[in-house]
Amino acid sequence: MATDIKTRWLLTTSALLLAVLGVALSFLPHEILMLAGAEPVPRLVLLIQLGGAMALAWAILNWMSRGQRVGGIYSRPLALANVLHFGTGSVTLLKMMTAGPVGLPETVLAVAYVALALWWAAALVTSPV
């Protein structure tokens, strides 16, 4: 079997979360900024859309890699990049949550990012065979 079921689920879950995030950030930057209480100035809108483009690129990378083995020495760059992304994202989201009250969307995103960071870290150090 070329791929492990657990890492296939990990890649699919990561891809779907990032695709939803990427589409939202790319096509609804004004609405997202207004919900966050920020003024949708052009430079900030551009930064939000660039973040969406990066999330979409990351989503397609994970989606297209679903058939590969991940873990140990297999697909190490892919696993390391995902650990870095979801780990850094987790720290950032948790820091935001400790700074003051947050809504349900931020909490759900933080929980998803922490879970994926831990799942990717486990996949990185575990052999798929």
Number of domains in the chain: 1
Query: With contact defined as beta carbons under 8 Å apart, do 67 and 3 qualify?
Result: yes
Owning domain of residue 69: 5-125
pTM of the predicted model over 0.85: yes
Q: What is the pLDDT along the chain (129 residues), one digit of tens a residue?
A: 445 778 899 999 999 999 999 999 999 999 999 988 899 999 999 999 999 999 999 999 999 999 888 887 889 999 999 999 999 999 999 999 999 888 898 999 999 999 999 999 999 988 776
Q: In the chain, what is the straight-line distance between the N-terminal and C-terminal CA atoms, in Å?
A: 10
58, with CB counted inside 10 A (0-12, 13-18, 19+), is buried
